[in-house]
């Protein structure tokens, strides 16, 4: 089953030649784990932000879980993202003055759909369960500003996974970890994705992890504007 289907997508930033995307087709199956790579500046974050509905393309079609995102308003896309997508930001975007538990609970407070799946009276138990699996169970009452980078990363993962999203978009979330920790962190995310049939798009410029994924995609291979982005050197 196809969860995400993108066709004839064109995107450019206003008044800039950089970060242009021209992608004929890209699709993701339900439960599929994709490794998307490309050098720094090649448009990986831009692409994820389009898939998340943060940026909107100039033309083309993007269907996720049966919804055509390009037909939605900005507000509708925000609601769609809150309901269906877990986004792990490159810099985590945790709220420093909130505790770990409050950060993990955020998506439940932003989405009716996720709240239905994790009602208030089950919230603590669900958060504790996911925190235990990620090894952050003893940190739940700490402010996230008190945590190490590796711990913050696991909080960001827990937040993205709470309340059964359909799709996880992970933007180089392991860049601050050494290889062993990266593999361990990934296998935890993989386990949870597998149990809940969540699809994963994992972005990195470090190809040492790619063999762990179902499919490996080079952004330059699918992006027809890539040659121009690199001044013809790609
Ligand atoms: N808001 C923006 N306006 C104009 N150019 C941008 C903007 N954001 C990123 N870019 C440019 O688009 C290109 C791709 O950026 P990005 O998607 O962040 O690449 P990556 O994540 O692969 O490092 C870069 O050349 C970057 O400078
Ligand atoms: Mg990036």
Mean pLDDT of 80-91: 93
Domain interval for residue 212: 2-229
Sign for the CA dihedral angle at 228, 210, 89, 175 comes to: negative
Q: pLDDT tens digits, residue range 59-70? A: 999 999 999 999
The span from the CA of 86 to the CA of 107, in Å, is 9
CATH number at residue 79: 3.40.50.300
Whole-number pLDDT of residue 234:
43
Ligand 1 mean position, distance from CA 182 (Å): 25
Instruction: Return the structure tokens found at 111.
Output: 């989405």
Q: pLDDT tens digits, residue range 110-165? A: 999 999 999 999 999 999 999 999 999 999 999 999 999 889 999 999 999 999 99
Ligand 1 mean position, distance from CA 45 (Å): 7
Q: Is residue 71 part of a domain?
A: yes
pTM value is 0.93
For residue 219, the ligand closest to its alpha carbon is 1
Total domains in the fold of the chain: 1
Q: Is residue 130 part of a domain?
A: yes
Mean pLDDT of 22-43: 97
The torsion of the CA quartet 27, 30, 32, 38, rounded to 10 degrees, works out to 30
Mean pLDDT of 44-51: 97
* Ligand 1 cavity residues, CB under 6 Å: 13, 16, 18-19, 38, 40-46
Residue 66, classed as helix, strand or coil, is coil
pLDDT at 232 over 70: no
Residue closest via CA to ligand 1's atom 1 equals: 13
Mean pLDDT of 97-104: 97
pLDDT at 175 over 80: no
Ligand 1 mean position, distance from CA 220 (Å): 14
Q: Is residue 122 part of a domain?
A: yes
Pocket probe mutation, ligand 1, options 13, 14, 19, 51, max atoms within 8 Å of Cβ: 19
Highest mean pLDDT among 88-92, 168-172, 173-177, 183-187: 168-172
Whole-number pLDDT of residue 229:
53
Percent over 70 (pLDDT), the chain? 97
Burial tier of 28 (Cβ tally within 10 Å: 0-12, 13-18, 19+): buried
Q: 120 with 163: CB under 8 angstroms?
A: no
Q: 135 with 154: CB under 8 angstroms?
A: yes
Whole-number pLDDT of residue 230:
52
Residue 179 DSSP symbol: H
The span from the CA of 144 to the CA of 103, in Å, is 8
* Position with higher pLDDT, 189 vs 184: 189
Task: Give the β-pairing of 59-64 and 2-11.
Answer: antiparallel
Residue 223 DSSP symbol: B
Ligand 1 mean position, distance from CA 202 (Å): 18
Q: Phi/psi at 59 (nearest 5 deg)? A: -155, 170
Shortest-distance atom of ligand 1 to CA 48: 17
Q: 59 with 141: CB under 8 angstroms?
A: no
Shortest-distance atom of ligand 1 to CA 171: 21
> pLDDT class for 228, splitting at 50, 70, 90?
low
Mean pLDDT of 17-22: 94
Q: Is residue 162 part of a domain?
A: yes
Mean pLDDT of 19-35: 98
Instruction: Return the structure tokens found at 95.
Output: 């709220």
Q: Phi/psi at 48 (nearest 5 deg)? A: -60, -40
E runs forming strands in 59-185: 59-64, 67-68, 85-88, 167-171
Whole-number pLDDT of residue 91:
84
Ligand 1 mean position, distance from CA 17 (Å): 10
Q: Is residue 234 part of a domain?
A: no
Residue closest via CA to ligand 1's atom 2 equals: 13
The torsion of the CA quartet 41, 45, 47, 51, rounded to 10 degrees, works out to 180
């Amino acid at each position: 089953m196809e969860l995400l289907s993108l066709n004839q997508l064109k995107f450019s930033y206003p008044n800039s030649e950089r970060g242009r995307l021209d992608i004929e087709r890209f699709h993701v199956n339900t439960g599929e784990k994709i490794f998307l790579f490309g050098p720094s500046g090649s448009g990986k974050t831009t692409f994820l932000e389009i898939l998340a509905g943060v940026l909107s393309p100039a033309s083309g079609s993007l269907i996720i879980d049966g919804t055509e995102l390009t037909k939605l308003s900005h507000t509708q896309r925000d609601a769609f993202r809150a309901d269906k997508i877990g986004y792990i930001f490159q810099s985590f975007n945790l709220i420093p003055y909130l505790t770990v538990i409050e950060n993990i609970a955020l998506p439940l407070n932003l989405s009716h759909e996720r709240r239905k799946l994790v009602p208030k009276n089950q919230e603590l138990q669900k958060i504790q369960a996911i925190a235990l699996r990620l090894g952050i169970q003893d940190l739940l009452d700490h402010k996230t500003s008190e945590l190490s980078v590796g711990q913050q990363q696991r909080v960001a993962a827990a937040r993205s996974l709470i309340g059964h999203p359909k799709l996880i978009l992970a933007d180089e979330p392991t860049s601050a970890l050494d290889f062993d920790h990266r593999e361990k962190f990934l296998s935890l995310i993989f386990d949870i994705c597998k149990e809940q049939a969540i699809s994963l798009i994992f972005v990195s410029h470090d190809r040492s992890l790619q063999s762990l994924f179902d499919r490996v995609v080079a952004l330059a291979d699918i992006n027809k504007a890539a040659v121009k982005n690199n001044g013809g050197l790609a």
